[in-house]
Chains A and B, each alone.
Chain A
Amino acid sequence: MRKEDEIIARLVAWFDSRLGLSHPMLRPVPEYAVNPFYWLGALTVVAFVIQGVTGMLMMLYYVPSPIQAFQSTQYIFQQVYYGRFLESVHLYTAYAMIMLAFMHMMRGYFVSVHKKPREMMWIVGMVMGFVTLGFGFTGYLLPWTVVSKSATDVGIGMIDALPAQISWLLSFLVVGAGGDATELLRFYDLHVVVLPAVLLVLLTLKMYMLECHGISEPATGVVSQEKRRLIPIFPDVSLYLLELAAVFGSAMLLISVIFPLNLPPQYSPQLAAQFTPQPDWYFLWIYQILKISIFEGPGLSVALSLVTLLFILLFLLPFIDRSKKRRLIDRPIFVTLGLIFVAELIVLAYWGLITPGQIIPFEQAALVIGGTALIIAFVSFGAYWVLFSRIKRQTSSGPQAPTKFAALFSFGALATGGAFAIGNTMNTTVNIIVQGLDWWKALLLVSSIIMLAFVILASALLIYRIELPNGSLSRRIRFLEKMIHESK
């Protein structure tokens, strides 16, 4: 070895022996986990890091006082180099962080990561989800615009509807007793000090538990030996994570260019009086529930209790869904409930978005919420029946692929029926929202929803049949069949 190489080797060995670079703390990862869906939590952390960096840069200029908050935000927008870009990236990455955290949670739900021995990981993850929403809530107020202040005031107003002890504690924590000035200062402190510190502690705890229990197996429960091959976290998996982070970062940058942030007018009580407050998209579903007529006035505490109950159920999920079955195929009820939950959130959020400040009659809400649940349950159980019954029956021959003519004819019929059903559903929904509900419109809506469900179901069946002879779907299903047969 040349003398220079020997010096470098000794230097590397010195650092390695002190820093432990060649002995990574994290355990290797099975190959089946090299898949973006396994790294949604890691991407949420990447979003958090981007938030931290952009946030710290904005902290250099932001002043948390009602008089200067808007001016300092405007200064960042107009005077600071790349200030508008920083604000836009901070906002869209915050949105992405909330969306990724939600997707991470729902993926965990569907693939049963909450089951033994990962119950506490689920609960800690749920707390982290709340902290993430807390980031959104506290950060929204900081620019002190009419949009942010009005929406936050509505949120703070809800605290009064809670039981007295909780209401007092929350009011003290988030508002204080000094009006706007203390409110903004507390929101700022929570946003830049308390919540990041709490999230970092929880993240460490969750990483520790992940190292103890390892990455969960896929929900199919079928993993080949090849896919179980362990890959070291450094440099292999780290490189994969860097790829994901780079793609995510470039997507955030592109979005911030296409939709640059515009600063709404400064908050003033006079301007706020003319403005219909509406929360940011991630709270729209709660906003829409609170606008249902029976939850007006004294009913508000009932609505908040229902939302709280929903969160408690999510927290306690590992102790409710105690079955040892982890595969999707074995959990039709919980999978259907999960799909209904996601669909209801989307429907309520969109509905809240298009009806700002509008009180929703109870019958209308019941129809939309109930109809959504019904259609999802119908489609989900139908899909289970169509796709999985064959596996469970263990038939040897299975359905045959349709002829080309039959496939084309079916496709044309389904496309026409689908277009009609979608158009009619949307048209009737808009008519109900604009003109109110009557029996004829209700009948029309229910029939078009049933037709839409039928089209979706029939399309799934058609794709399955067309794809059957040589496609990846049939290969996967046959692979599953084979594994089930072998396990028996």
Chain B
Amino acid sequence: MNRNDLLVTVLVILQLVSTNYLWGLDAASSVSQARFAIFLAIDLLSFAMIAYIYRKAEWREQTYRIWLLLGSFGLVLLLVSSLIFT
């Protein structure tokens, strides 16, 4: 398994966990609104990263490490935000 495959696996797991968490939120609670937004953002960003890796593989091009690092940094930032803003 190469680096990109590993990353896609982690991202898919993260998406599954995040989506499952979203469905379980109490929609009536005001705290849930921030959580909902953050975990939806995590889903979207993970999707963007998976699509990027898939597209580059389809085009037979190398993925740029900087974009993957920035994406991963964004995900970490969102996860940290979920602790701060909720």
Contacts and interface: CB of A to CB of B under 8 A. Distances in A.
Given A242-B51, A243-B52, A243-B55, A82 B36 contact: yes
Interface stretch (A128-136, A210-218, A256-264): A256-264
Q: Which one of A85, A89, A253, A256 has the greatest number of beta carbons of chain B within 10 Å?
A: A253
A363 interface: no
A254 B48 contact: no
Given A82-B33, A85-B33, A257-B38, A250 B59 contact: no
Contact of A247 (B37, B38, B45, B54): B45
A283 interface: no
In which size bucket is the chain A interface? 20 to 34
A240 B81 CA distance: 27
Contacts of A249: 41, 44
Contacts of B30: 84
A146 to B, nearest CB: 24
A236 B30 CA distance: 40
A246 B58 contact: no
A484 interface: no
Interface residues of B, number: 27
Interface in A308-345: none
Most chain B beta carbons < 10 A, residue from A82, A236, A250:
A250
Contacts of A257: 34, 37-38, 41, 81, 85
Contacts of B41: 249-251, 253-254, 257
A304 B79 CA distance: 48
B5 to A, nearest CB: 18
Contact of A243 (B33, B51, B74, B77): B51
B28 to A, nearest CB: 6
A363 to B, nearest CB: 46
B37 A253 contact: yes
B36 to A, nearest CB: 6
Nearest to B28: A81
Contact of B59 (A236, A242, A253, A260): A236
Contacts of B59: 236
Which of A82, A84, A88, A240 neighbours the largest number of chain B CB atoms within 10 Å of its CB? A82
A473 B39 CA distance: 39
Contacts of A85: 33-34, 36-37
A256 B37 CA distance: 8
A419 interface: no
B27 interface: yes
A246 B81 CA distance: 18
Nearest to A78: B30
Nearest to A80: B27
Contacts of B74: 250
A194 interface: no
Nearest to B29: A81
Nearest to B47: A246
B43 to A, nearest CB: 8
B58 A250 contact: no
A250 B45 contact: yes
B48 A246 contact: yes
B78 interface: yes
A239 interface: yes
Contacts of A239: 51, 54-55
Contacts of A81: 27-28
A223 to B, nearest CB: 18
B14 interface: no
B85 A258 contact: yes
Given A253-B40, A254-B41, A254-B81, A236 B55 contact: yes
Q: Which of A81, A239, A243 has the most CB of B within 10 A?
A: A243
Contacts of A88: 37
Nearest to B49: A243
A246 B55 contact: no
A244 B45 CA distance: 10
B48 A243 contact: yes
B30 to A, nearest CB: 7
A84 B33 contact: yes
B37 A254 contact: yes
Contacts of B55: 236, 239-240, 243
Interface string A139-172: 0000000000000000000000000000000000
B37, B44, B48, B85 pick with most chain A CB within 10 angstroms: B37
B33 A247 contact: no
A236 B52 CA distance: 11
20 contacts: A81-B27, A82-B27, A82-B33, A84-B30, A85-B37, A88-B37, A239-B51, A243-B55, A247-B45, A247-B48, A250-B41, A250-B42, A253-B38, A253-B40, A254-B38, A254-B41, A257-B37, A257-B41, A257-B81, A258-B85
Interface of B: 27-28, 30, 32-34, 36-38, 40-42, 44-45, 47-48, 51-52, 54-55, 58-59, 74, 77-78, 81, 85
Q: Which 9 A-B pairs have the closest CB atoms?
A: A246-B48, A250-B41, A253-B41, A81-B27, A250-B44, A85-B33, A246-B44, A253-B37, A250-B45
Interface of A: 81-82, 84-85, 88-89, 236, 239-240, 242-244, 246-247, 249-251, 253-254, 256-258, 260
Given A239-B51, A240-B55, A246-B51, 11 more contacts: A82-B32, A236-B58, A236-B59, A242-B48, A243-B48, A246-B48, A247-B48, A250-B44, A253-B38, A254-B81, A257-B41
